[in-house]
């Protein structure tokens, strides 16, 4: 699988979910952006590290970094390695005494740690294809995000965010592709029955 390095492009209030924030990651060598909805605590943890603020007492992510430093464990990189039912998954790739090991992590926590360790963040092309957007400047100067959906494969329906599935459902219905519409509808129903 092709790995793609990402940078933190923005941290803002989420447009889709109130009381939440979004961290926007962008390809180092490309135009695609990966918006990830995160909680306010994680947004604060990322913002504090980005702004190089030093709180009076260590925040949770600072404490974890201090513990890793104390035991001579280096965070080499963060990998956003999966997307299932609209939820991103991540791994911390660490090294100690020349041995590499991975730790499962929430994506927001992994990003907060990557900022503190100044290590790279990676994802895979299939995740950017499923959840990535391209920001296009409109005539009035505002930015508009367009969903990147290439190779919308019914075998990978579970990797697409729910809003992308709903958009795609409308597209295939307009194109009268009822077989694909039925598959997308079934995936949407499957997720809704979990809630």
- Domain-located, residue 93: yes
Which has the higher per-residue pLDDT, 65 or 149?
A: 65
Q: Is the pLDDT of residue 118 over 50?
A: yes
Q: What is the pLDDT of residue 191?
A: 81
Q: What is the pLDDT of residue 29?
A: 87
Band of the pLDDT at 150, cuts 50, 70, 90?
very low
Q: Indicate if 124 and 177 belong to the same structural domain.
A: no
By the 10 Å C-beta count (0-12 exposed, 13-18 middle, 19+ buried), 33 is classed as buried
Tell me the C-alpha distance between 134 and 26, whole Å.
9
3-state secondary structure of 4: strand
Cα–Cα nearest to 122, from 155, 90, 158, 160: 90
Per-residue pLDDT tens digits for 69-92: 999 999 999 999 999 888 999 999
Alpha-carbon dihedral 63, 66, 71, 76, rounded to 10 degrees: 100
Tell me the C-alpha distance between 31 and 136, whole Å.
9
Q: Is the pLDDT of residue 167 over 50?
A: yes
Tokens of residue 192, six digits? 């809704």
What is the residue range of 119's domain?
3-129
3-state secondary structure of 116: helix
Percent of the chain with pLDDT over 90: 45
Residue 101 belongs to domain with CATH number: 3.10.690.10
Q: Indicate if 189 and 107 belong to the same structural domain.
A: no
Per-residue pLDDT tens digits for 21-72: 889 999 998 889 999 999 888 999 999 999 989 888 988 999 999 999 999 9
Task: For residue 32, report the phi and psi dihedrals to the nearest 5 degrees.
Answer: -75, 145
Q: Indicate if 65 and 99 belong to the same structural domain.
A: yes
Band of the pLDDT at 151, cuts 50, 70, 90?
very low
Q: Is the pLDDT of residue 171 over 90?
A: no
Q: Indicate if 121 and 155 belong to the same structural domain.
A: no
Sorted by sequence, the CB contacts under 8 Å of residue 103 that are 6+ apart come out as: 91, 92, 94
Domain count, the chain: 2
Beta strands in the chain (DSSP E): 3-13, 21-27, 32-38, 74-84, 87-96, 99-106, 121-124, 133-137, 143-147
Band of the pLDDT at 175, cuts 50, 70, 90?
confident
């Amino acid at each position: 699988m092709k790995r793609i390095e990402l940078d933190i492009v923005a941290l803002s209030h989420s447009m889709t979910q109130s009381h939440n924030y979004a961290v926007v990651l962008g390809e180092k060598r490309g135009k695609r952006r990966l918006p990830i909805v995160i909680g306010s605590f994680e947004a604060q943890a990322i913002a504090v590290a980005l702004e190089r603020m030093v709180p009076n007492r260590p925040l949770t992510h600072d404490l974890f970094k201090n513990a890793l430093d104390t035991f001579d464990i280096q965070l080499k990189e963060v990998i956003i390695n999966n997307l299932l039912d609209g939820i991103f998954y991540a791994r911390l790739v660490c090294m100690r005494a020349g041995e590499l090991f991975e730790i499962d992590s929430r994506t927001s926590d992994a990003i907060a740690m990557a900022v503190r360790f100044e290590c790279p963040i990676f994802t895979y092309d299939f995740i950017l294809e499923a959840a990535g957007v391209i920001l296009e400047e409109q005539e009035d100067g505002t930015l508009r995000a367009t969903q990147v959906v290439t190779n919308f494969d019914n075998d990978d329906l579970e990797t697409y965010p729910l809003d992308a599935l709903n958009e795609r459902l409308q597209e295939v219905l307009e194109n009268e592709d009822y077989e694909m519409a039925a598959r997308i509808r079934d995936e949407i129903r499957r997720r809704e029955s979990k809630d």
